[in-house]
């Protein structure tokens, strides 16, 4: 959804031929400089071995009808076009004297732009990369599609922190095309614009990039947090199990699986701490008190302070932690502020007394055990809209919603207490609504409902509009 694929003007449907969008998929149309004597059939014969052809157009002079010696061949698949381009460039068709020059066609509205080393445009992918991935990880992942010439992870110039995106350069257009078509959707791979070029339009909604002062919330690129001292777990970068799914493996998930252990109400603390204290240090500090379930720096709270969420599996531990750590100078000269989060103390007392057995310490309703996630490539079967009464860390939400199988993604809108959850299974989404709507997570109330269609989508299902007939 919302990628270039949906912008093709194919009406869908059967029967009638569609006029394919020239740039869908990208780089799938070839521009051929040839002999005036070449016919459409010549090109069909020569190029159809490489894959399905959507359109062949031999350009003629408007008035004289004479061939201009150029032609366009549009393939269905980028990789087929790539193969054809590489193999047919410089070849001749039949007994023609002239060798073909085969290039990837430029966008319709920009006309001829020969100049830059042609290949530059076709061999590089621009991808979204998790901040913890190394260039070696990416090279290994993308080498399965072809020879990788280089990987570049873009970093902040000041501190060297990764910016979350980068480039993979292949040795051939064909390899880049295969990687583009087959790599996981989480990379959001697109062909990279050549270095100096002005970027094309961003997305169909917003403007290119409005700087949001809510970016570098966690002081030091400490990205995601894996619970206790558990070492970073950079391990198997095999298939899908890297940092997008990191919360699958952490202590919290393990904790949630211990569903048979009766536990008391969870208790959350809100902590303000100097931004020179990192995630790990903060965890160690609060882990002095037994019962720590969760500890995460959430956002900036002031120029030199962060706000963190700390969760214990019982109220006594939380109260004890508050008594002992509130006002502590850590480090020297920087006081830690600890207060009870989410629920009023009255409510806390109630839950303290009301010790019914719960399946876990995070949510006030029973939850099934953690289920497998869907891959980011899977199709969204249902999207939910969630509203929180206060912020919760993404990893907690992900863990909660992964109690039903086929979770694809959870995200909160920046600066708001609402967001979206995507499932690959309608049934899971419905169960999540039934179970979680109105529940509390760490004392934060949550509403869960079906999301409205985003406006302006070409939604091809559901709606009452769009009866198509023939």
Partner DNA sequence: CGACGGGACGC
User: Please, which of residues 185-214 interact with DNA by CB under 7 A?
Assistant: 186, 188, 190, 192-195, 197, 199, 203, 205-206, 209, 212
- Answer whether 292's CB lies under 8 Å from 268's CB: no
103 binds DNA (CB under 7 A): yes
Among 165, 240, 320, 330, binds DNA (CB under 7 A): 165
- Residue whose structure tokens are 């249902």: 382
Q: Which of residues 433-452 bind DNA (CB under 7 A)?
A: 447, 449, 451-452
136 binds DNA (CB under 7 A): no
| Burial (CB count within 10 angstroms: exposed 0-12, middle 13-18, buried 19+), residue 86 | middle
108 binds DNA (CB under 7 A): yes
Query: Where is 396: in which H helix or E strand?
Result: helix 394-401
Applying CB under 7 A, the site for DNA has a residue count of 74
Among 132, 161, 164, 259, binds DNA (CB under 7 A): 164
Strand, helix or coil for residue 264? coil
413 binds DNA (CB under 7 A): yes
The tokens for 292 are: 């720590």
Please identify, using beta-carbon distances, which residue of 21 and 370 lies nearer to DNA. 21
CA–CA dist 252, 176 (Å, integer): 38
Nearest approach, Cβ of residue 66 and DNA (Å): 11
CA–CA dist 370, 210 (Å, integer): 37
Nearest approach, Cβ of residue 411 and DNA (Å): 3
Please identify, using beta-carbon distances, which residue of 165 and 240 lies nearer to DNA. 165
96 binds DNA (CB under 7 A): no
CA–CA dist 180, 116 (Å, integer): 22
453 binds DNA (CB under 7 A): yes
422 binds DNA (CB under 7 A): yes
105 binds DNA (CB under 7 A): yes
Nearest approach, Cβ of residue 242 and DNA (Å): 13
Cα–Cα nearest to 448, from 424, 405, 469, 418: 418
Please identify, using beta-carbon distances, which residue of 330 and 420 lies nearer to DNA. 420
- Answer whether 400's CB lies under 8 Å from 436's CB: yes
Nearest approach, Cβ of residue 283 and DNA (Å): 24
- Answer whether 149's CB lies under 8 Å from 123's CB: yes
352 binds DNA (CB under 7 A): no
332 binds DNA (CB under 7 A): no
- Answer whether 406's CB lies under 8 Å from 426's CB: no
CA–CA dist 254, 248 (Å, integer): 9
468 binds DNA (CB under 7 A): yes
């Amino acid at each position: 959804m919302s990628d270039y694929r949906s912008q093709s003007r194919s009406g869908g449907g059967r029967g009638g031929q569609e006029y394919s969008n020239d740039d869908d998929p990208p780089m799938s149309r070839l521009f051929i400089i040839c002999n005036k004597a070449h016919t459409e059939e010549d090109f069909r014969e020569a190029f159809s071995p490489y894959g399905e052809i959507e359109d062949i157009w031999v350009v003629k002079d408007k008035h004289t009808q004479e061939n201009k010696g150029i032609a366009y061949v549009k393939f269905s698949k980028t990789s087929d076009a790539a193969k054809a381009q590489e193999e047919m460039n410089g070849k001749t068709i039949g007994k023609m004297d002239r060798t073909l020059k085969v290039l990837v066609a430029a966008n319709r509205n920009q006309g001829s732009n020969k100049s830059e080393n042609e290949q530059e445009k076709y061999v590089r992918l621009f991808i979204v990369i998790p901040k913890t991935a190394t260039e070696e990880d990416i090279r290994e992942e993308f080498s399965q599609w072809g020879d990788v010439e280089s990987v570049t992870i873009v970093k902040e110039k000041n501190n060297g922190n990764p910016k979350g995106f980068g480039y993979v350069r292949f040795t051939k257009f064909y390899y880049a095309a295969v990687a583009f078509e087959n790599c996981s959707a989480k990379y959001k791979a697109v062909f990279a614009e050549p270095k100096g070029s002005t970027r094309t339009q961003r997305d169909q909604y917003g403007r290119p990039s409005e700087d949001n002062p809510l970016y570098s919330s966690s002081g030091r690129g400490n990205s995601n947090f894996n619970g206790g001292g558990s070492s970073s777990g950079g391990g198997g970068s095999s298939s899908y199990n890297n940092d997008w799914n990191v919360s699958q493996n952490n202590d919290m998930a393990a904790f949630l699986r211990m569903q048979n252990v009766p536990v008391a109400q969870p208790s959350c603390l809100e902590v303000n701490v100097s931004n020179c204290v990192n995630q790990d240090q903060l965890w160690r500090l609060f882990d002095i008190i037994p019962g720590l379930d969760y500890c995460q720096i959430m956002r900036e709270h002031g120029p030199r302070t962060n706000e963190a969420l700390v969760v214990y599996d019982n109220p006594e531990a939380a109260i004890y932690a508050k008594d002992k750590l509130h006002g502590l100078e850590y480090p020297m000269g920087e006081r830690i502020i600890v207060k009870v989060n989410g629920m009023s103390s009255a409510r806390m007392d109630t839950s303290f007394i009301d010790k019914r057995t719960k399946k876990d310490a995070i949510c006030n309703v029973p939850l099934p055990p953690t289920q497998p996630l869907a891959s980011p490539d899977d199709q969204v079967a249902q999207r939910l809209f969630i509203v929180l009464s206060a912020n919760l860390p993404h990893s907690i939400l992900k863990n909660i919603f992964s109690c039903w199988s086929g979770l694809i993604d959870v995200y909160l809108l920046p600066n708001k207490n609402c967001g979206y959850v995507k499932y690959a299974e309608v049934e899971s989404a419905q169960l999540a609504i039934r179970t979680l709507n109105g529940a509390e997570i760490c004392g934060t109330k949550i509403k869960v409902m079906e999301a409205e269609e985003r406006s302006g989508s070409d939604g091809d299902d559901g709606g009452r509009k769009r009866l198509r007939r023939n």
